[in-house]
């Protein structure tokens, strides 16, 4: 009996070595450890062993069974690990294949710019007023102190719907609408589309502006520069400076252009600022007495400043866009880039 046990032990050790698949593992189980396996056979044979030897033999057989089962378990785990590793290898992918597309879109650069500008002015206490795009002559011109024979009224520049109804040529219409409804102190920002019929390579018949208006007691030209300097610093960087230049708008007196020091070269002169160190940004001025009076605000008591910014221009400067046409072409290859912003 003891010999038989040893023989089986050796046989099983040999068989175990040769196992290299799940199937062989199952065979091994069936041959040796299963219900009708050889170990079970040994168990049955114990009956033929003498009574006095039986406990010792039984112990040996049990030990053999236990040891074999443990080894079987280890072999099984090893085999499974091998097979999973094989599956891993099989499942290997080409990690250099293109990534799956991001499914997020983005806002248009004009909206991004507009939002950034709105945020800056919101923080300064400006309310946002959405004016109408189709306006009347009164709000677009007359009450803004644009006299009846002013060149900007000419058919060349303004799209007319009727003699009196037109597509607004400037967001300045917001000044009148807002001052009709609100009395000082007030701070208003009115962004939106405007339309002009002088279309060519560098002018679109439609573009975007942002009008700003502050009316209060003791508002000065210095305040206009101070506030817009803060705006420029938030948009273009803390180190930029501004300068005023005389200009003319019918609805402000004095009128100024505001230039910002070139944020690319720091004022040294480069291609962006055409060597001048300064970049034209916006126009503005002290609100004309007649405009205040036209809105029922006493110009002796209140003063204010107004400004208008071209959103396309700011967007182009901010993002380095050199062709205004890109902003209305809606080419997805262009728009996709603004996910980054």
Q: Sort 101 into a burial class: Cβ within 10 Å, 0-12 / 13-18 / 19+.
A: exposed
Distances (CA, A) of 285 to 260, 295, 335: 16, 18, 35
- With binding defined as CB under 8 A, does residue 128 bind other proteins? yes
Residue 139: count other Cβ atoms within 10 Å of its Cβ: 20
Choice from 11, 63, 156, 239 touching other proteins (CB under 8 A): 156
Three-class DSSP category at 287: strand
- According to the binding rule CB under 8 A, does residue 105 interact with other proteins? yes
Q: Which two tokens stand for residue 123?
A: 């923080």
Binding mask 60-99 for other proteins (x = CB under 8 A): ----------------------------------------
CB of 264 to other proteins, least distance (A): 22
* 328 is a contact residue toward other proteins (CB under 8 A): yes
Given the structure tokens 């038989």, which residue do they identify? 4
User: For residues 162 and 322, which CB has a smaller minimum distance to other proteins in the complex?
Assistant: 162
Site for other proteins contains 181 (CB under 8 A): no
Q: Which is nearer to other proteins, 8 or 279 (CB)?
A: 279
Residue matched to tokens 């009115």: 190
User: Is the torsion defined by CA of 140, 146, 152, 154 positive or negative?
Assistant: positive
Closer to other proteins by CB, 52 or 98: give it.
Answer: 98
Residue 214 to residue 136: CA distance in whole angstroms = 23
288 binds other proteins (CB under 8 A): yes
301 binds other proteins (CB under 8 A): no
- Should residue 230 be labelled a site residue for other proteins when binding is judged by CB under 8 A? yes
Taking CB under 8 A as the criterion, the residue among 95, 97, 99, 104 binding other proteins is 104
For 231, other C-beta atoms within 10 Å of its C-beta total 23
Contact 140, 169 (CB under 8 A): yes
Alpha carbon distances (Å) from 210 to 134, 282, 334: 16, 10, 24
Stretch in the footprint of other proteins (CB under 8 A) among 27-35, 82-90, 92-100, 219-227: 219-227
CB of 94 to other proteins, least distance (A): 21
In the set 246, 301, 320, 340, which binds other proteins (CB under 8 A)? 246
CB of 64 to other proteins, least distance (A): 53
Q: Which stretch binds other proteins (CB under 8 A): 47-55, 74-82, 191-199, 260-268?
A: 191-199
Q: Determine, following the binding rule CB under 8 A, whether residue 267 of this chain makes contact with other proteins.
A: no
**Closest approach of other proteins to the CB of residue 209, in Å:** 14
Does residue 202 touch other proteins according to CB under 8 A? no
Part of the chain binding other proteins (CB under 8 A), chosen from 7-15, 19-27, 170-178, 211-219: 211-219
Residue with Cβ nearer other proteins (28 or 207): 207
Shortest distance, position 46 Cβ to other proteins, whole Å: 54
DSSP codes of every residue in 125-187 = TPEE----SEEEHHHHTGGGT--TT-GGGSTTT--BSSSSEEE-S-TTHHHHHHHHH--SSEE
Cβ neighbours of residue 101 closer than 8 Å, sequence gap 6 or more: none
Cα(32)–Cα(65) distance, integer angstroms? 9
Window contacting other proteins (CB under 8 A); options: 12-20, 30-38, 57-65, 110-118: 110-118
Which residues from 9-38 bind other proteins, rule CB under 8 A? none
Count of residues in contact with other proteins, rule CB under 8 A:
87
φ/ψ of 36, rounded to 5, equals -105, 20
Kindly state the tokens that stand for 157: 């520049």
In terms of Cα–Cα distance, which of 170, 104, 153, 159 is closest to 309?
Answer: 170
234 binds other proteins (CB under 8 A): no
């Amino acid at each position: 009996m003891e010999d038989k046990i040893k023989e089986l032990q050796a046989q099983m050790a040999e068989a175990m070595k040769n196992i290299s698949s799940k199937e062989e593992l199952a065979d091994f189980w069936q041959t040796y450890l299963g219900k009708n396996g050889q170990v079970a056979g040994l168990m049955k044979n114990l009956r033929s062993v003498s009574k006095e030897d039986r406990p010792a033999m039984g112990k040996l057989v049990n030990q053999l069974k236990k040891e074999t089962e443990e080894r079987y378990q280890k072999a099984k785990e090893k085999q499974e690990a091998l097979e999973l590793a094989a599956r891993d290898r099989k499942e290997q992918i080409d990690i250099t294949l293109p990534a799956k597309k991001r499914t997020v879109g983005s806002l248009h650069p004009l909206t991004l710019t507009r939002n950034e500008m709105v945020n800056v002015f919101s923080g300064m206490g400006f309310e946002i007023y959405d004016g109408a795009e189709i306006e009347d002559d009164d709000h677009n011109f007359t009450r803004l102190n644009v006299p009846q024979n002013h060149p900007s009224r000419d058919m060349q520049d303004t799209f007319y719907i009727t003699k009196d109804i037109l597509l607004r040529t400037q967001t300045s219409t917001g000044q009148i609408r807002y001052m009709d409804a609100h009395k000082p102190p007030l701070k208003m920002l009115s962004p939106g589309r405007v339309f002009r019929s002088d279309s060519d390579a560098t002018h679109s018949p439609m573009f975007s502006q942002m009008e700003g208006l502050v009316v209060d007691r003791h508002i000065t030209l210095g305040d206009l520069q101070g506030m817009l300097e803060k705006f420029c610093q938030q948009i273009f960087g803390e180190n930029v400076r501004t300068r005023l230049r005389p200009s003319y708008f019918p609805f402000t007196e004095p009128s100024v252009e505001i230039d910002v020091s070139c944020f690319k070269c720091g004022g040294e002169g480069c291609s962006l600022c055409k060597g001048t160190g300064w970049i034209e940004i916006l126009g503005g001025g002290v609100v004309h007495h007649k405009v205040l009076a036209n809105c029922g605000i006493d110009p002796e008591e209140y003063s204010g400043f107004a400004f208008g910014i071209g959103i396309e221009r700011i967007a182009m400067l901010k993002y380095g866009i050199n062709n205004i046409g890109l902003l209305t072409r809606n080419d997805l290859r262009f728009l996709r880039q603004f996910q980054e912003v």
